Amino acid sequence: MKLAIVIASDPKAGEEAVGRAFNALALAAEAVQKGDQVEVVFVGAGTRWPAEATMLSHPLNGLYNQVRNSVKGASCGCADVFGAAAGVEACGIPKLKDHAMAGTSGLASLRRYAVEDWKTLVF
CB contact at 8 A, 78 and 47: yes
- Other CB atoms within a 10 A radius of the CB of residue 90 amount to 11
Q: How many domains does the chain have?
A: 1
pLDDT band at 35 (very low <50, low <70, confident <90, very high): very high
Sheet holding 71-75, edge to edge: 95-96, 71-75, 37-42, 2-7, 119-122
CATH of residue 62's domain is: 3.40.1260.10
pTM score: 0.95
Q: Residue 48 corresponds to which amino acid?
A: R
Q: Residue 75 corresponds to which amino acid?
A: S
What domain range includes position 79?
2-122
Residue 80: per-residue pLDDT: 97
Q: What's the average model confidence in pLDDT over 110-120?
A: 97
